[in-house]
Amino acid sequence: MFIRLKRLLALAFLSVFIVSNLIFAADDWQIIKVSGHDYLSVDNISKFYGLTAKIMPAGEKMQLETVRSPLEFVQSSREVMINGARCWLCFPVIEHEGKFLVTRTDLAKTIEPLLRPQRVSNAGKVQTVVIDPGHGGHDKGALSRYGSEKDFALDVARTLRTLLQAKGLRVIMTREGDYFVPLEVRAQIANAARNSIFVSIHFNATDRDPNATGFEIFSFTPRGAPSTSENSVAPSSLSMQAGTEVDAQSVALSACIYHSMIGHIPEFDRGIKRARFAVLRLTRVPAVLVEGGFLTERGESQLIAKKDWRAKLAQAIGAGVENYVALGVKKQPPMLVADYRRQNKSQPVEFAAPEADLSLVNLIGEAALISPSQPAAETSSPAPQAALPVSPLDSAVIVP
Ligand SMILES: [Zn+2]
């Protein structure tokens, strides 16, 4: 009797869920025109995905906040937390007639592939991983007192190759040693390989802020949109390139790798970004460019100089690639930052300084080997419901 009641209740609950979804699917997306551009309300997006969405006041430092909601937009900003990772919209959230609005471009090109990478067509279809260690030869890349970007990138790439090969993936390196390969040749290598993905490994540098730290990852900027570093649409972004058919796959790959990076290693989360870097523009396969920390920041440059830390970075990127590949098999949401952090809690990794590093540290009078970790942005990882209505990419919302 009790079991029957429970079953009845479950059925009632399920039918309410289905009916509410049907009702919602019926009125679907409500496009709001503002100055000739198409927007959707945050409420509409939240309802469609069945996920709570928050609007954070502008200027609030989101990195100091505990992430409480799978979707956290920032007023008048392009910054958004999606499933616990920072991401950057192409256009800022605007307020219009009492509603917060997001552009149609961002819904289709950013939010959908980040929230449901498992639904991106051909996501996870990978035969070959093309690893691209940035720079090389005369092009040293960024420099720290411990070494140059070209060498650190090559070391991470080599470890990553071994890890991916051990998982049965075919790997091609755009360079095997310390020599320069033109950017277009790197892209050609990826384009020539069957069902390949392209992962470019770099380290960051800036002369504007010596305290800048953290990870970031880039995929190609959609047509008509500014890159994350640009504040407005440059004429070049409208005419320069046609955009690519693999945009959504690249964003899905970004999400898989980035969640693993910030889930494994407690560096600051600078976010999932867009850029028109040559290697991203010239590749016609899913492509990302990873920035594994700043060589211009004291603490981070010390970490990057440690071989075991670089191995950990390679492992994190490798786990992300594996998760992307799994999308093609399981069609299930990938692991998120909170999942990785939970997994790692049972087996915390310490980056013990080798003897040589210790003496070097003493020599330069450094006390801390590891930069203070950022407060962990914990979030539950709500798996987007499988029974949701059609993807916005399938509906009228898609941007031509
Ligand atoms: Zn670089």
* pLDDT-based confidence at residue 154 (cuts at 50, 70, 90): very high
Ligand 1 centroid from CA 204, angstroms: 6
Backbone angles phi, psi at 250, to 5 degrees: -65, -40
Q: What is the pLDDT of residue 241?
A: 54
* pLDDT-based confidence at residue 205 (cuts at 50, 70, 90): very high
Ligand 1 centroid from CA 203, angstroms: 6
Topology of domain 24-109 in CATH is Copper Amine Oxidase; Chain A, domain 1 (3.30.457)
Ligand 1 centroid from CA 207, angstroms: 14
Ligand 1 centroid from CA 301, angstroms: 14
* pLDDT-based confidence at residue 266 (cuts at 50, 70, 90): very high
Mean pLDDT confidence for 133-160: 98
% of the chain with per-residue pLDDT over 90: 69
Handedness of CA 284, 337, 72, 385 (dihedral sign): positive
Whether 24-109 and 128-363 share one fold: the answer is no
Ligand 1 centroid from CA 250, angstroms: 19
CA 269 to chain centre: 10
- Evaluate if pTM is beyond 0.85: no
Q: What is the pLDDT of residue 245?
A: 77
Mean pLDDT confidence for 365-376: 30
Ligand 1 centroid from CA 70, angstroms: 31
Ligand 1 centroid from CA 267, angstroms: 18
Does the pLDDT value for residue 16 go beyond 50? no
Note the pLDDT tens digit of each residue in 218-229: 999 998 899 999
Q: Is 272 helix (H, G, I), strand (E, B) or coil?
A: strand
Q: What is the pLDDT of residue 355?
A: 36
Ligand 1 centroid from CA 290, angstroms: 9
Ligand 1 centroid from CA 23, angstroms: 49
Dihedral, CA of residue 87, residue 91, residue 95 and residue 101, to nearest 10: -70
Ligand 1 centroid from CA 142, angstroms: 7
Q: What are the residue boundaries of the structural domains of the chain, listed by start?
A: 24-109, 128-363
Note the pLDDT tens digit of each residue in 50-59: 999 999 887 7
> Greater confidence, 397 or 367?
397
Ligand 1 centroid from CA 209, angstroms: 17
Q: Which residue bears the tokens 């949401």?
A: 333
Q: Which residue bears the tokens 């909170």?
A: 338
CA–CA distances in Å: residue 118 to residues 113, 256, 327 = 8, 10, 5
Mean pLDDT, the chain, whole residue set: 82
Ligand 1 centroid from CA 201, angstroms: 8
Per the CATH hierarchy, to which homologous superfamily does domain 128-363 belong? Zn-dependent exopeptidases (3.40.630.40)
Q: What is the pLDDT of residue 68?
A: 76
